[in-house]
Amino acid sequence: MTNKSVIFFDIDGTLLNHDKKMPESTKKAIFKLKELGHEVAIATGRAPFMFKDIRDELDIHTYVSYNGQYVVLDGEVIYQNPLKLNPLEKLTEEALQNNHPVVYMDHEDMKANVPEHEYITESISTLKIKFFPTHDPHYYKSRDIFQSLLFCKEGEEHQYEQAYPDFDFIRWHPVSVDILPKGGSKAKGIEKICKQLGYPEEHQYAFGDGLNDIEMLSTVKNSVAMGNAEEVVKQAAKYVTKSVEDEGILHGLKMVGLLK
């Protein structure tokens, strides 16, 4: 175990470029890591159903999804941390009054509390996925919801941050914010996996580029920020590699000594 490592990769802006395409050098690097006996995993804010195609393409069966709220090790769910129902219901009522739509997401699907809204269309379409939320305002009442999306302009989320201390709000798009359980993060999900696999911290690696990667990058010992990341994200990481467009994954893996 001591000469093998576990490497966690974010998806958007890390494995995938701005056009949601995976550079060929990235794919080859992932398979080379696996060939060398390393454990390769994904750590993303996406729902499991939003990146099954990527898992299949890369033959990856271990992942942290929903920013740490739904964690799977070798195909088995090992950790779940859903949103609290009562505050989610109250937030939904307030958001509806403010014309701020909400989308509810479990491990299988996502549903919106309004039939349609331009903010939902605008933000979800940037993910370039084949899934789109359909209308079911009561979806959250009968199942565990691991993440919600609040659709509002930048700054408008502050009123909710103060009113709902059970949740963390992380912006991922100019008109959309992730709603997560308070204190939930990719770092917590990674901790669950590493504890079960037994990898010491010096053999843990993480690559990311977004605001939701900051805790992961500041917690994992060998962390690498992409060159396309914002400055605040780069400051959280131990290393900074090139942009995803410029073979950043391959360059970063060579930088930290995992590939030659």
Query: Looking at the annotation, which residues are catalytic?
Result: 10
Please give the distance of CA 195 from its chain centroid, rounded to a whole number. 20
Pair type for strands 76-80 and 70-73: antiparallel
Could you give phi then psi for residue 45, rounded to 5 degrees?
Answer: -85, -10
Residue 40's CB is within 10 A of a number of other CB atoms, namely: 21
> Rounded CA gap, 159 and 23, in Å?
40
Residue carrying the six token digits 């398979």: 31
Distance of CA 61 to CAs 44, 56, 132, 168, 195, Å? 14, 8, 24, 27, 17
> Rounded CA gap, 138 and 89, in Å?
10
With beta carbons less than 8 A apart as the criterion, state whether 12 and 44 touch: yes
**Got the DSSP string for 119-157?**
HHHHHHHTT--S---EE-TTGGGGS---EEEE---TTTT
Residue 54's CB is within 10 A of a number of other CB atoms, namely: 19
